[in-house]
Amino acid sequence: MTEGAGYITLGYLDVALAALLLCINAALSFSLNLGLGRKILIAGARMAVQLLIVGLVLKALFVSVSPWLTALATLVMIGFAGYEARARQETRFHGFWSWGLGAGSMAFAALVVTSFALSTAIRPDPWYHPQYAIPLLGMILGNAMTGVALGLERLLSVVYRERRSIEARLLCGAPIQTALQGGVRESVRAGMIPTINAMAAAGLVSLPGMMTGQILAGVEPFEAVKYQLLIMFLITGGTAIGLGAAVLGGAKLLSDDRHRLRLDRIYTRS
């Protein structure tokens, strides 16, 4: 560890010492027979490798400042976000839509909100500068991924569980939108809860990650607070847009032009 101009520079040994704390998780899993020890260690190693690679890629992107490379990095991030959202769902759509619905919803939300931030509050020159565009996109995309995955999982689970009551409403003449209304509301609520909890706890219970990082890097606390507020508002808006698009799109895929419930489009592991 070395001290720089107003901030402390970490060495690789410092990070390695902190990584030893993962052994506590592994030991707890072993003592309680949870079967999570191997997964925890693999996840930690995977995270370290991924972040090191990302660090190298970002360093190259910041030097080149190319709109095409920034666009390529954006597409890769969206693709992996769609894959991760799909992997978190026990119940999901068959085929392309198991990935495409989540990825498309997150892409729409993240691109809209990131473009809004870059053109209003941040205003870098050029506007697509990767030093600003990529971190903003990553934070919005990551949080939207959680909301979209929770929302789609809840929607499909509720529809599959309550399929008989939904079909009974359809037989009584209710349109598919009315029959699925309860599931749509429950899904949107479930997807928004993590973001709402994060906003409610910020400051009183925890210091958010971005704010903590800026303070440790020597930024004046009130400036860090303003940036954190900006990010939290962007994240909340992006999550709402992506979640709404995913759940409404999912409800559309669960029906057809004849207002029938299409359970054949759902795959469940249970």
* Residue range 183-205: mean pLDDT, rounded: 88
Cis peptide upstream of residue 126 (ω within 30 degrees of 0): yes
* Residue range 96-122: mean pLDDT, rounded: 93
Q: Is the model's pLDDT at 247 over the cut of 90?
A: yes
Q: Quick one: pLDDT at residue 218?
A: 79
At 138-187, the pLDDT tens digits run 999 999 999 999 999 999 999 988 889 988 888 888 888 888 898 999 99
Contacts of 38 (CB under 8 A, 6+ apart): none
pLDDT band at 117 (very low <50, low <70, confident <90, very high): very high
Three-state SS sequence of the chain:
CEECCCCEECCHHHHHHHHCCHHHHHHHHHHCCCCCHHHHHHHHHHHHHHHHHHHHHHHHHHHHCCHHHHHHHHHHHHHHHHHHHHHCCCEEECCCHHHHHHHHHHHHHHHHHHHHHHHHHHCCCCCCCHHHHHHHHHHHHHHHHHHHHHHHHHHHHHHHHCHHHHHHHHHCCCCHHHHCHHHHHHHHHHHHHHHHHHHHHECCCECCHHHHHHHHCCCCHHHHHHHHHHHHHHHHHHHHHHHHHHHHHHHHHCECCCCCECHHHEEECC
Q: Quick one: pLDDT at residue 72?
A: 93
Q: Compute, in degrees rounded to 10, the torsion defined by CA atoms 255, 108, 75, 192.
A: -80
96-110, 201-215, 226-240, 253-267: least confident range: 201-215
Q: Is the model's pLDDT at 235 over the cut of 90?
A: yes
Q: Quick one: pLDDT at residue 6?
A: 58
94-98, 132-136, 181-185: least confident range: 94-98
Q: Quick one: pLDDT at residue 2?
A: 54
Whole-model pTM: value is 0.84
Return the percentage of the chain with pLDDT > 90, whole number: 38
pLDDT band at 5 (very low <50, low <70, confident <90, very high): low
* Residue range 235-241: mean pLDDT, rounded: 94
